[in-house]
Amino acid sequence: SKAFSENLDSSLALPCLGCHGKNTNLTIPSLFDLDEDYIYNSLVDYKSDKRKNYLMQLISKAYNEQQLRILSQYFSKGNSKIE
């Protein structure tokens, strides 16, 4: 159902929101409204150690490919109900 899907998306995004929610800290970018492919490819690059950031590498490895796609879609659509 749609409600289940939205809850799943929000639950997957919770660990990201502490640093990447809508905030004013310019050193850590918000992920909201970025291009879906850009978010997904960045997460895959962190997961495969092509892109370097210790914390992001650890976090991205906890998600499977489907979850990374869900996260990418969630943030690209600007879902900011939870901050």
Map tokens 């970018």 to a residue: 29
Amino acid identity, position 51: R
Taking 80 as the threshold, does the pLDDT of residue 26 lie above it?
no
- The residue whose two tokens read 């092509």 is 50
Distance CA 18, CA 8 (A): 17
Rounded mean pLDDT, 52-69: 96
Per residue in 27-60, pLDDT (tens digit) is 888 888 899 999 999 999 999 999 999 999 999 9
Model pLDDT, residue 7: 60
